[in-house]
Amino acid sequence: TEVKMAKRLFLSPSKSNTAGVKFGEASFDLLTDFLVNLDKRNKDDLPSSTKYCGNFKNKRVIGEYFRILSLIIIIIIIIFARFMVKYIEDFITAPTPKGATSNHPRSYEDAVYNKLKDKFPLIIFSCVQLASKLSLHSHMIDNNTAVHFLHSVGCTVSKQALLESELMVLKGLKFRLNVLNPLTYVEILLEVLGHNEPSVPLKHLYHYCHHVLQFISLERTAIYETLLMATTECVSPSKEQREQFVPVTEDCMLLGVGVIAVAAFILRKWEQVVGELSHITRISKRSITDFAHATLVHIVGISSSVTPLS
């Protein structure tokens, strides 16, 4: 189903500026192209989602190493998760070396762990470095700074080892780093929302979207587990149900509307925003509500028995 574009375009749209982003600057045609392209790329990526996709996107993997608090963590998690999924898939599909014992079944988890345990902190930091080079809003981390920092946290590495680690990540991703991230979806959807509903306070909404997106990035596993249980209406979803749910966890358009919906609920603009988001993306109000509810449950820190959004 094609994505619906703005219903009307105003000649003098109001401008707002939060974190260097200005809304109301894009033309109707340009914004239409952006939205359609985002939707197409999102749908094209979903069929390639594997069961490993979400395993490297939780806060324990990234946050507990470096306590990163800025939005650049989103880019870091995407780069890291893509590399690790590709690495594990390549490892599993690699032929067994000649002479290797076949008396016992191969333990992939142990094998991957043994191979990566010493490199793991360095791989994570390489992803931090690469993300810093992609972001226009952060300082690039040079090798001198990187080596000094790693030494300060007990990782004694050379500049050469740092370069080799970064190159390993780059090769693993086939040098394709500039992938779409959830913030792009949030910003474009807000832009369209502003054209359709000029009374929506985009500046304040965007401010809260930043915090909501950070929270979802850090609490991803718990939030999607809550959403899975709500979707399946089952406290203990089966393996098959979990595998079928993987594309939902990788759906950037759903994540984008979910982030905006949660921010709208916090600002008490729920009714004003959610219907329009559903119109723009053709994602049902029920799906948006379920996502927002699953997120808000964890924001307020209470059980999932909290009264659902209407």
Per-residue pLDDT tens digits for 252-284: 899 999 999 999 999 999 999 999 999 999 999
Point out the domain boundary residue: 146, 172, 198: 172
Q: Is the dihedral of CA 265, 269, 270, 274 positive or negative?
A: negative
The H or E element spanning position 18 is strand 17-18
pLDDT in tens, 29-86: 777 777 887 788 778 776 655 555 545 455 554 444 444 445 577 778 888 888 888 8
Tell whether 43 and 58 lie within a shared domain: no
Residue 297 confidence (pLDDT) above 60: yes
Point out the domain boundary residue: 119, 147, 172: 172
β-bridge mates for residue 295, sequence order: none
Evaluate whether residue 6 is within a structural domain. Answer: no
Is residue 245 within 8 Å of residue 234, measured between CB atoms?
no
pLDDT value for 121: 82
| Section 229-246 average pLDDT | 91
Residue 159 confidence (pLDDT) above 80: yes
pLDDT value for 301: 79
pTM of the model: 0.62
Tell whether 23 and 44 lie within a shared domain: yes
Point out the domain boundary residue: 145, 172, 199: 172
Evaluate whether residue 130 is within a structural domain. Answer: yes
Q: Which of 110-114, 148-152, 187-191 has the highest mean pLDDT?
A: 187-191
Evaluate whether residue 3 is within a structural domain. Answer: no
pLDDT value for 183: 84
Tell whether 189 and 270 lie within a shared domain: yes
> Confidence class of residue 97 from pLDDT cuts 50, 70 and 90?
low
> Confidence class of residue 154 from pLDDT cuts 50, 70 and 90?
confident
Report the 10 Å Cβ neighbour count for 7. Answer: 12
- Of the ranges 17-26, 52-61, 149-158, which one carries the lowest mean pLDDT score? 52-61
Tell whether 168 and 195 lie within a shared domain: no
| CA 245/CA 258 separation, integer angstroms | 16
Tell whether 185 and 262 lie within a shared domain: yes
β-bridge pairing 21-22 and 17-18 = antiparallel
User: Helix, strand or coil for residue 165?
Assistant: helix
Q: Degrees (nearest 5) of the Cα angle 20, 145, 66?
A: 70
First to last CA, the chain: 25
pLDDT value for 16: 37
pLDDT value for 268: 93
pLDDT value for 66: 42
Output the domain CATH number for residue 137: 1.10.472
pLDDT value for 106: 52
Q: How many domains does the chain have?
A: 2
**CA 60 from chain center: how many Å?**
15
> Confidence class of residue 13 from pLDDT cuts 50, 70 and 90?
very low
79: nearest Cα among 123, 48, 46: 123
pLDDT value for 150: 84
Residue 26 confidence (pLDDT) above 80: no
Evaluate whether residue 35 is within a structural domain. Answer: yes
Tokens representing residue 146 in the block: 């990187």
Tell whether 134 and 281 lie within a shared domain: no
Tell whether 71 and 161 lie within a shared domain: yes
Q: Which of 210-214, 233-237, 263-267 has the highest mean pLDDT?
A: 263-267
Evaluate whether residue 310 is within a structural domain. Answer: no
- Of the ranges 57-61, 234-238, 245-249, which one carries the lowest mean pLDDT score? 57-61
pLDDT value for 84: 86
The percent of residues above 70 in pLDDT, for the chain, comes to 73
Is residue 50 within 8 Å of residue 92, measured between CB atoms?
no
Residue 309 confidence (pLDDT) above 70: no
pLDDT in tens, 110-142: 776 777 777 888 888 888 888 888 765 456 788
- Domain assignment of residue 109, given as a range: 53-172
Tell whether 25 and 71 lie within a shared domain: no
Evaluate whether residue 7 is within a structural domain. Answer: no
